[in-house]
Amino acid sequence: MTVSTKRSLAAQVLIQALLCLELLAMSATSEDLFVRHFADQLRVIAPRLHFISGKSLQRLHDGVIVPFDFQLSISAGTKTNLVSRSVERFSISYDVWEEKFRVVRLRDFRKSAAGLSAVAAEVWCLENLLVPSAGLPADKELWARLDVRSAEPKESMPASTDSGISIPALIQAWSRPPRPQQDHWTLESASFHLADLKQQ
């Protein structure tokens, strides 16, 4: 076997391995977001999503507030037919003495939780990201999609006011793609029917 043949084989193996990994990642994506029916609301669970990490975690450890923007979208019939969505901004800070996180939902300052671990803070954010189930088509296939991104430090303050956050500003933030310096995550659920979801 010549050297060039060996290299060609190695390249093919590498490409196949990458394809396998990509397929695995895609399937994992659909397994990473689970939809739950809670009273008249839909909420999601994402056990593998850890957005309090990397640069954001470093900034939090430095005592800086890090806001995160969330968007939960529900599509019906086809994945492109958006029928409902919810947007929220959560502001997270880290107590440098107690080494615990605090989360405030900026839409209304009254909603907050403190003394949380990183995982608990992430879960709290998802628990407070809700889409009403009323009006969702019961006879069609549904998909949920969760988008999370760290808000840009410069835009985090103008969007929020003393009484909460400006909703149009938040929507505007979601109307453009994430900037390179923003961490962002996208997760999609497998298709589901409203009737199949157990009430919790």
Partner 1 sequence: MVSRLHPPAAMKLVLIPLLAVAGLFGQNGESADSGAGELNVNSRYTVESVDVANTHRYRLSTAILDEMHRLIGAHLNDDAVKRLASRIRGELRAHEVTFRLLRGGNPESVKLLFEVEKGQGDFDVSIPTFAYNSREGGSGAGAVTGRFGANSVTFAGLSNGDSLAERYSGIQAKYQRLSLGSDRISLGFEFDAYHEQYNQNTLTAIQNGSDSSSLGAGAYRSRMNFEPSATFVLAKPLTLTIGFSFEQLQPQLSAAPSESANAVINTLRYRERWIDSDDTNQELDAGYTLRAATRSLGSDLAYTRHAVSVRYMLVHDHQSLELALVAGLIYGKAPLFERFVLGDNTTLRGWDKYDLDPLGGNRMVHGSVTYGYRIVRVFYDTGAVWEQGTAPEAKRSAGVGIASGLGLFQKGAVLLAVAFPIKPGRVEPVFIAGMNF
Confirm or reject binding of residue 138 to partner 1 (CB under 8 A).
no
- Candidates 69, 98, 80; CA nearest to 159 is 69
- Candidates 200, 34, 38; CA nearest to 132 is 38
Span interacting with partner 1, options 11-19, 25-33, 112-120, 185-193, rule CB under 8 A? 112-120
For residues 182 and 36, give the distance between their C-alpha atoms in angstroms, rounded to a whole number: 28
Q: Work out which of 35, 49, 57, 104 binds partner 1, going by CB under 8 A.
A: 104
Confirm or reject binding of residue 95 to partner 1 (CB under 8 A).
yes
Span interacting with partner 1, options 1-9, 28-36, 80-88, 190-198, rule CB under 8 A? 80-88
Q: Work out which of 2, 4, 5, 80 binds partner 1, going by CB under 8 A.
A: 80
Where on the chain is the footprint of partner 1 (CB under 8 A)? 41, 62-65, 80-88, 91, 93-97, 100-102, 104, 106-114, 128, 130-132, 135, 157, 160, 167-168, 170-171, 175
